[in-house]
Chain A
Amino acid sequence: MISIDLLSVGIGLGSFGVFLILQVIFFRWIKPEALLKSLLLLVIGVSVLPISLMLICWKGKLSFAAPTTWMMGMMMASLLSFLLSFVYILCIFGPYETSVRMRLVCEIASCGKSGITRQELFKRYNSQVMAQLRLRRLIGSGDIIEKDGRYILIKKQNVFFLFDAIAGLLKKWINA
């Protein structure tokens, strides 16, 4: 008999593995404007997957545990899968996709050992390029819309403001 604890960890890790495989296979075709929505959908899907897998294990009687323990196991597996995906997005995929530093490293690396002049670097990557990339993503996620050449904020309760609010609260506590 497998313990529910190890089953939760295994299913949580397995679901994250599914997330990684799907992300590697399908995200190569996803345009910047569809990126945030696709990531959100994938994270929701991967957080629900452990519940279904745990239910299958429960029905298959992989472990003789009380229903409350199974419920707790489902919650743990789902939480672990969600957190693994969240950490991957925040610490690996996010910086790779949006970090200014990483883009600068890529641009400098593309010129080889001789390096790149400041002028050339700023010609390839500048505030204009940065703004266009982000505007495409924000339009795609439905946070802003473009109307008559002007951009309008339509979603004030988005993920950026939520993160900002949490960071603001933390800052307040640190500086109190």
Chain B
Amino acid sequence: MMDFCLAIGLFTMTVVVHILFCRQQKTKGLQAKAFIFIALFFLLIYIVITVLFNQRSFEWSSGLLFVLLVPVYLCFYVLTQLTSPSKKILQALDLQGPLNDKQIVAAIEEEDFINTRLHDLLISGCVVAHQDAYALTASGDKIAWILKAMQVTTGRGMGG
């Protein structure tokens, strides 16, 4: 039980330190890498404490719990700056009441999801633009290969 409380306590501290770190930043943008470094630091503290104390009972499961909470937090953290098309549809229906197809498409177009995501892919170097055409770079090819492998494994088509 002590290991569990320790893992949860240290994870809470990780989140608090990250929030304080984000408050200090003047430029806008995601501080995901900083969170990973802070989490690694607190994970190291967890390992040191569990090794030093003899009364260990759930050290592996609590450690794994700490590790799994990292991507969970990051998912919520990313949502503080990004919105999804599904959320946009639900927000539009919540604020404006019943809507038809055209109005829903218009609500989605307000956010310009495709152009912003295409821009992100260009910035991250996964896609290059040649005149009016888009092609994948080597890193984009790797992502496409992984997606293709997932399509074959799961038997599902392209998402989106």
Q: Which residues of A contact B (CB under 8 A)?
A: 4-6, 8-9, 12, 23-24, 27-29, 69, 72-73, 76-77, 79-80, 83-84, 86-87, 90-91, 96-109, 113-119, 121-122, 125-131, 133-135, 137-138, 143-144, 147, 149-153, 156, 158, 160-161, 163-164, 166-168, 170-171, 173-176
Contacts and interface: CB of A to CB of B under 8 A. Distances in A.
Q: Please name the 10 residue pairs, one residue from A and one from B, whose CB atoms are nearest each other, closest first.
A: A28-B155, A103-B160, A115-B135, A167-B79, A109-B144, A153-B93, A97-B159, A115-B133, A171-B80, A150-B98
A142 B154 CA distance: 25
Give the interface residue-count category, chain B.
35 or more
Interface string B92-122: 0110011111001100110001100110110
B86 A138 contact: yes
> Interface residues of A: mostly helix, strand, loop or mixed?
helix
Contacts of A138: 86, 89-90
Contacts of B75: 90-91
Given A87-B72, A102-B147, A131 B85 contact: yes
A144 to B, nearest CB: 6
Given A5-B61, A80-B65, A97-B156, A105 B135 contact: no
Interface string B59-75: 11110110011011001
Contacts, number: 223
B58 A8 contact: yes
A151 B153 contact: no
Contacts of B62: 76
A105 B114 contact: no
Contacts of B121: 101, 104-105
Contacts of B43: none
A131 B108 contact: yes
A114 B89 contact: no
A19 to B, nearest CB: 13
